[in-house]
Amino acid sequence: MDTTSDSKRLGAVKLSRVTFRATNRDSDPTALKNPTVAQSSRGTANVKPPPSEGSSKPTETKRPTQSISMSGLLAAQRMTLRLKNQAALRRKARARTPNRKPITIINEQVPSGSANPSQRFPYSLAKELMQEFLTSKLRNLTYDPSTTADLTKNMCEDIKKMVRRVTPPRYKLICNMAIGSKNQEDILMTSQCLWDSYSDNVTSCSFQNSTMFCVVSVFAVYFE
């Protein structure tokens, strides 16, 4: 009994060994050395292992390609044409508007206590007339002390009559003239008056030739 049982046990062991070798004959010889690799190869090959926590390589994601349709292009062209037409209409509207007259914001203020004449004394025009008169009268004259007094008096009257023609009404004119010899000396003439600086005014001019000089001033005082 003991020997048969031992023989059966040995035969069973041998049979199991032969069966084990027959089933693994066609397998990969590397699977015997690495059984874990053989087990993993029997699974699905499409499953990718999860990325390791230590790896910093970002995962590549495919972006969907953008496609431009023909209707979108036509809509963009229509919008561009509409904006161009609006800009052209605005330019035409600006060109049609007439030039506006300048608006006077600050008016000349009359000081309190001053006279307000309807027309003020034209001092620039009076100066031009006086300059032409002196040039025509004294261009060819020679200084003579004996005739200078009468010459000064007559010229003052002529200048007042001439300036009176361009002077507005209610103005009084005062003419002051000085004639002297020209002998390498310098002369300085000043005047000072107490008057209304808004309505009253003054103009002056001078002339000289090789022998004499002449300085004339005309004061215009408004009288109410």
**How many structural domains is the chain composed of?**
1
| Contact partners, residue 168, CB within 8 Å, separation at least 6 | 117, 118, 119, 120, 121
Token pair listed for 214: 């002449």
Helix (H) or strand (E) holding 108: none
H-type helices in the chain, by residue range? Answer: 2-23, 29-33, 35-41, 70-96, 123-138, 148-164
Predicted local distance difference test score (pLDDT) of residue 104: 63
Write the CATH number for 150: 3.30.1140.40
Cα–Cα distance between 121 and 167 in angstroms, integer?
A: 6
- Answer whether residue 27 is part of any domain: no
> Which amino acid is residue 132, in one-letter code?
E
What is the model's pTM? Answer: 0.52
Mean pLDDT, rounded, of the chain: 76
Confidence band, pLDDT 50/70/90 cuts, at residue 205: very high
Cα–Cα distance between 73 and 80 in angstroms, integer?
A: 11
Host domain of residue 145? 123-222
- Answer whether residue 203 is part of any domain: yes
Confidence band, pLDDT 50/70/90 cuts, at residue 67: low
- Answer whether residue 36 is part of any domain: no
